Amino acid sequence: MKRTVEPKVLYFGTPVVLISSLNPDGSTNLAPMSSAWWLGYTAMLGMGTSAQTVKNLIERPEIVLNLVDPDMVAALDRIALLTGSEEMSDAKRARGYRYEPDKFAAGGLTREPSSNGPDGVAESPINLEGTIQAIHEIGGPDSHLCSLEMRVERVQVREDLLMSNDRYIDPLRWDPLIMKFTEYFAGGAPAYPSSLARGWQMPPMAVSNTMSSAASGS
């Protein structure tokens, strides 16, 4: 038996990515996102247009995608409800967001120079450097959503994730952090309590023992 419903979120599960983009003053903004997919050497990124990231990429198309593995989840969650934009919608403020110009420091993450401008994240095992080629409005004029088309120009991968001939990344060793309905998952299991889920008023999941101990570091 199935029911017709209107779920508040349709995030069925996609890898978490940290986007590096250049602020007007030349510093790097970091933004967690998970609406990303790849076709050949093109990455398609779904973002709300109020994000500082989108404002940056409209003006300065250089971008680094820092892929996130489960070891980074606590750092990622520390910056989950931050924005690099001083202006914020009431809806975003109500979800608990606040302005933070230095998300590397806020997350406890380390800058790593890239070849195209924005600082990458040293803790990320995989960094994709490239350029935004086009920005498309999606969902109609009132949605305030867009997709950004990125050409991937340089792929940096931690050596232990590579297969013998360097042309492939080992699927058994690369374990992406997944965001599913605003909750973090790794290896198919809940990975960490999600600040984003609280912002979206997701009902608590039934299994939270392992996650509580992950959050308290015990």
Ligand X SMILES: Cc1cc2nc3c(=O)[nH]c(=O)nc-3n(C[C@H](O)[C@H](O)[C@H](O)COP(=O)(O)O)c2cc1C
Give residues in contact with ligand X (CB under 6 A). Answer: 16, 29, 31-35, 46-48, 51-53, 80, 83-85, 97, 179, 196
Query: For residue 71, which amino acid is it?
Result: D
Least distance in angstroms from the C-beta of 159 to ligand X: 27
Least distance in angstroms from the C-beta of 140 to ligand X: 16
Least distance in angstroms from the C-beta of 31 to ligand X: 4
For 144: left if phi > 0, alpha if psi spans -120 to 50, otherwise beta; the answer is left
Cβ nearer to ligand X, comparing 35 with 162: 35
Least distance in angstroms from the C-beta of 16 to ligand X: 5
Cβ nearer to ligand X, comparing 142 with 166: 142
Spatial neighbors of 162 by CB under 8 A, at least 6 apart, are 168, 169, 170
Least distance in angstroms from the C-beta of 207 to ligand X: 19
Spatial neighbors of 2 by CB under 8 A, at least 6 apart, are none
Cβ nearer to ligand X, comparing 127 with 185: 185
Cβ nearer to ligand X, comparing 27 with 116: 27
CB 97 within 8 A of CB 89: no
CB 100 within 8 A of CB 32: no
CB 191 within 8 A of CB 214: yes
Cβ nearer to ligand X, comparing 114 with 146: 146
Distance CA 69, CA 73 (A): 7
Least distance in angstroms from the C-beta of 176 to ligand X: 12
Calculate ∠ Cα 81-130-29, nearest 5°: 25
Cβ nearer to ligand X, comparing 16 with 43: 16
Helices then strands, each counted (H, E), the chain: 6, 15
